[in-house]
Amino acid sequence: MNNHFDINFIKYWMNETEAEKRAIECFWKNLFLYNKEDPEEFERNFPEYNPSFLEVNIQTVSIVFENYPDLDYNHVLISIPIRYQEKSKGIYKILFTFDGKVEDDYFIID
């Protein structure tokens, strides 16, 4: 089977848009806001919070084509698992438009 997708293009895009760096920065910003906006829930999910207990690494980079069959709502989706004290707590997802702008981001807490 032929590979019809150029993997090097997404690597180039990630580099040019600094998507990895920006995704991780947005993760930390949103975690800070989560703690500030809902400290009780935050404490339940991250007891005795210490940022050094968090593992923050990109797990997947996906191209998402939505609104089929028009396919006119498309993004690069970066997923970062949320691991705290070596336990899975959920996932953070950030959507970038193809020109590199952040469209949306959110936590899914288990």
Q: Tens digits of per-residue pLDDT, 12-70?
A: 999 999 999 999 999 999 999 999 999 999 999 999 999 999 999 999 999 999 999 99
Query: In this structure, is the dihedral angle defined by the CA atoms of residues 55, 56, 57 and 60, taken in order, positive or negative?
Result: positive
- pLDDT value at residue 25: 98
Helix (H, G, I), strand (E, B) or coil at 104: strand
Query: Quick one: average pLDDT of 3-7?
Result: 78
**Phi/psi of residue 95, nearest 5 degrees:** -105, 125
Q: Which has the closest alpha carbon to 59: 8, 24, 86?
A: 24
pLDDT, tens digit, for every residue of 85-98? 999 999 999 999 99
Query: Does a cis peptide bond (omega within 30 degrees of 0) precede residue 69?
Result: yes
pLDDT of residue 5: 78
Residue 2 pLDDT > 70, yes or no? no
pLDDT band at residue 1 under the 50/70/90 scheme: low
Which of 67, 98, 80 has its CA nearest to residue 26? 80
